[in-house]
Amino acid sequence: MKQSQRRSCLRWYMTTMRLEQRTSGLFKRTETLSLGSCHFRPRILIDVSKIDMTTNVLGFKISMPIMVAPTAMQKMAHPEGEYATARAASAAGTIMTLSSWATSSVEEVASTGPGIRFFQLYVYKNRKVVEQLVRRAEKAGFKAIALTVDTPRLGRRESDIKNRFTLPPNLTLKNFEGLDLGKMDEANDSGLASYVAGQIDRTLSWKDVQWLQTITSMPILVKGVLTGEDARIAIQAGAAGIIVSNHGARQLDYVPATISALEEVVKATQGRVPVFLDGGVRRGTDVFKALALGASGIFIGRPVVFSLAAEGEAGVRKVLQMLRDEFELTMALSGCRSLSEITRNHIITEWETPRHLPKL
* Residues catalogued as catalytic: 247
191 CB-near residues (< 8 Å, 6+ apart): 164, 165, 166, 167, 184, 185
Q: Which long-range contacts (CB under 8 A, 24 or more apart) does 354-359 make?
A: none
* Buried/exposed 258-272: b ≥16 CB within 10 Å, e otherwise: bbbbbbbbbebbeee
Q: Judge contact between 41 and 335, C-beta under 8 A.
A: no
Cα 207 from Cα 191, distance rounded (Å)? 30
339 CB-near residues (< 8 Å, 6+ apart): 52, 53, 54, 55, 65, 291
Could you tell me which residues are annotated as the binding site for glyoxylate?
122, 157, 247, 250
Could you tell me which residues are annotated as the binding site?
70-72, 99, 120, 122, 148, 157, 223, 245, 247, 250, 278-282, 301-302
CA-only gyration radius of the chain, Å: 20
Q: Judge contact between 68 and 87, C-beta under 8 A.
A: no
117 three-state secondary structure: strand
* Residue 159, amino acid: S
Q: Is 198 exposed, middle or buried (0-12, 13-18, 19+ CB in 10 A)?
A: exposed
Q: Judge contact between 239 and 209, C-beta under 8 A.
A: yes
Calculate the CA 18 to chain-centre distance: 20
Q: Is 212 exposed, middle or buried (0-12, 13-18, 19+ CB in 10 A)?
A: buried
Q: Is 295 exposed, middle or buried (0-12, 13-18, 19+ CB in 10 A)?
A: buried
Q: Is 335 exposed, middle or buried (0-12, 13-18, 19+ CB in 10 A)?
A: middle
